[in-house]
Amino acid sequence: MLMVEKKARIPEHIAIIMDGNGRWAQRHALGRIAGHKKGAEAVRTVTRTCREMGVKYLTLYAFSVDNWSRPSVEVDALMKLLAQYLESELAEMQQNGIRLNIIGDIRRLKSSVREKINEVRRKTEMNQGMVLTLALNYGGREDITDAAKRILEDILSGRFAQEDLNKDTFVKYLATSNMPDPDLLIRTSGEYRLSNFLLWQTAYTEFYFTEVLWPDFGRPELLSAIEDFQKRERRFGKTSDQIKKGSS
């Protein structure tokens, strides 16, 4: 029986690497697109549950910079599913105060998909309940590299002093500058790697890996991950005694 305490250390920010749609489809003797469609249902369930549990930020790795190497038919289908998902979920996002945020370079996406993304961002920009961030054409290394380029441009133009550069000022140039670092990162399907996702931001994130394929990842699985998180001691480089004294 799950023993998640809703008032006890719910992660403020959960990030998820949604993996296993293709394997789910294969296990069910279906095409890969069917797996992605089923995965979209899992997105809906997890988003609802996070909102209910009081999670403030949910970030989903929807499409990486490396996913362009997949067959064009699959990529086109993913983009179509994305637009359909945003269209179908807009009313519920409004009802539950969910704001859409995007990280990654969406300029490579089809204009119709970009238009739908911008429409939903615009219509939800005042929502205060939860921030749903989709990482689209996103890569952690690319994020860090782009931040470094912008810092260099600001230094050369005189807008930023080199001596002011430190880890706190650096984060202001990352795509995630408007949100806290993830408290909990979940990866489904039994893989144990970050796959170029939020490399800077996960320095002190708690990781949770599960064998469950993403289309089968629902409310019970999410609550299990949160329950596991609640049992962990987050030290951030300190000792257990220091943490205990600080909370007393």
Any idea which residues carry the catalytic annotation? 19, 67
- Contacts with 211 (C-beta within 8 Å, 6 or more apart), sequence order: 189, 190
- CA–CA dist 35, 123 (Å, integer): 29
CB atoms within 10 A of CB 218: 14
Which amino acid, one-letter code, is at 116? Answer: K
Report the SS3 class of residue 135: strand
Torsion angles phi and psi, residue 208, rounded to 5: -135, 115
- Contacts with 214 (C-beta within 8 Å, 6 or more apart), sequence order: 18, 19, 20, 21, 24, 39, 42, 188, 189
Spatial contact of 106 and 74, defined as CB atoms under 8 Å apart = no
